Amino acid sequence: MIDVVDYQATRTIDARPERVFAEASDPRTLDHWLPRGVHVESARLPEVTVSHGEPAERDRALMRTEDDRLRVEWGTRDSSEYAGWLQVAAGAAGSSEVTVHLTFRDPGHAPPGGQVEAALGQSLDRLADQVRQHGERPR
């Protein structure tokens, strides 16, 4: 039996859901809000390469966006040891609720739980900052 470890965090961001999703799903801006030391490169979605750790490990991954559902999904390409998703939903008074969920199917591949939880919170804080810095984009 495979042990599965899940983590999830939610954050309210004071911006329209479409605006938050545009920032969260843009491969060119992922490095600005993902956990420190995680870098995503993509020549063409859904294929991406994720670099992380010291010395940097490079993993082949997939990233898919579902614009109509305001959802981003990702995971390792050559194995099923890691996957995640980000969902943006409408909140109160024009705000957004952003939930990010990570699944590690190999606990040996997962960082310690406290680090993951802290990284999720910090990433959502940086995403909120990124949205605030760029303001509303034209509709």
Complete domains list, the chain, with CATH? 5-134 (3.30.530.20)
- What predicted TM-score, i.e. pTM, was given to this entire model? 0.86
Instruction: Kindly report which listed range (16-30, 85-99, 102-116) carries the lowest average pLDDT score.
Output: 102-116
pLDDT of 137 above 60: no
- What are the tokens at 63? 């990233």
Residue where the block lists tokens 């802290």:
118
For residues 79 and 22, the model is more confident at: 22
- What are the tokens at 116? 């993951």
* pLDDT, the chain, mean: 86
Residue 82 binned pLDDT confidence (cut-offs 50, 70, 90): confident
What integer pLDDT is reported at residue 55 of this predicted model? 60
How far apart CA 85 and CA 120 sit, in angstroms, is 12
Residue where the block lists tokens 């060119």:
28
Q: Provide the sign of the torsion angle of the four alpha carbons 81, 119, 69, 19, taken in this order.
A: negative
| 27 neighbors 40 (Cβ within 8 angstroms) | yes
**Mean pLDDT to the nearest integer, 43-64:** 76
For residues 83 and 36, the model is more confident at: 83
Residue 113's identity, in one-letter code, is G
- CB crowding 14-41: b at 16 or more within 10 Å, else e: ebbbebbbbbbbebebbeebbeeebebe
